[in-house]
């Protein structure tokens, strides 16, 4: 068995495995929430840096990936407070045809619609759908009641359904009609 390197008392290989297994999912969740690829990458990198610094505690967290996403979203709020102005999604959003968007595994049309949702709804979608957390865990991560999570999820799904699924005479537009 190879030597296990420790940096500051932290097992490097354990963290590397967590990072490799979790980075893409966390990035997708944060991107779905913030709507900006570059910002999401910066936030996730910062969150993983903080996780590394606190790995003994983070590794014992019931949902370490949720800890990463929540830390990333909290970091965004901290950055925003320091600047005292928020860049609107429409003003600061990258072009959805940006080739880097394909790397996230998110459909550009879905990402565009997610950008239109209110922030809390995007956060709930990110945690419930992209990280597959249950309602209780999502509520705990966001610091809100379980009923509030359910309400935000319901509103978000309804809005997404209304914007992504259009019905014409009982047939969805994305389905082909036979001869």
Summarize pLDDT for 58-114 with one digit per residue, the tens. Answer: 999 999 999 999 999 888 877 666 665 444 444 444 444 455 545 556 778 788 888
Which CATH number does 7-166 carry? 1.20.140
Q: What pLDDT is recorded for position 77? A: 76
Separation in Å, CA 148 to CA 47, 100, 118, 121: 25, 33, 14, 10
Contact (Cβ atoms closer than 8 angstroms) between residue 117 and residue 148: no
Integer-rounded Cα radius of gyration of the chain: 18
Summarize pLDDT for 105-139 with one digit per residue, the tens. Answer: 677 878 888 888 998 999 898 888 888 889 998 89
Q: What pLDDT is recorded for position 1? A: 38
Contact (Cβ atoms closer than 8 angstroms) between residue 18 and residue 59: yes
Q: How many CB atoms lie within 10 A of CB 40?
A: 22
Q: What pLDDT is recorded for position 66? A: 92
pTM: 0.59
Q: What six digits make up the tokens of 94?
A: 């990258």
Neighbour-count burial of 35, counting CB atoms closer than 10 A to its CB (0-12 exposed, 13-18 middle, 19+ buried): buried
Q: What six digits make up the tokens of 74?
A: 């909290």
């Amino acid at each position: 068995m190879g030597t296990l390197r420790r940096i500051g008392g932290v097992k490097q290989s354990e963290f590397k495995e967590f990072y490799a297994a979790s980075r893409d999912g966390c990035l997708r969740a944060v991107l779905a929430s913030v709507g900006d690829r570059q910002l999401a990458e910066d936030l996730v990198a910062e969150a993983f840096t903080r996780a590394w610094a606190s790995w003994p505690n983070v590794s014992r967290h019931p949902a370490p990936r949720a800890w990463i996403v929540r830390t990333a979203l909290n970091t965004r709020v901290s950055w925003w407070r320091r600047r005292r102005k928020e860049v609107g999604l429409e003003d600061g959003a990258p072009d959805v045809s940006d080739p880097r968007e394909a790397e996230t595994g998110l459909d550009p049309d879905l990402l565009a619609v997610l950008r239109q949702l209110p922030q809390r709804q995007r956060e709930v979608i990110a945690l419930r759908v992209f990280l597959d957390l249950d309602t209780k865990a999502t509520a705990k991560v966001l610091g809100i009641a379980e009923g509030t999570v359910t309400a935000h999820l319901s509103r978000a799904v309804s809005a997404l359904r209304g914007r992504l699924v259009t019905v014409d005479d009982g047939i969805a537009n994305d389905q082909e009609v036979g001869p």
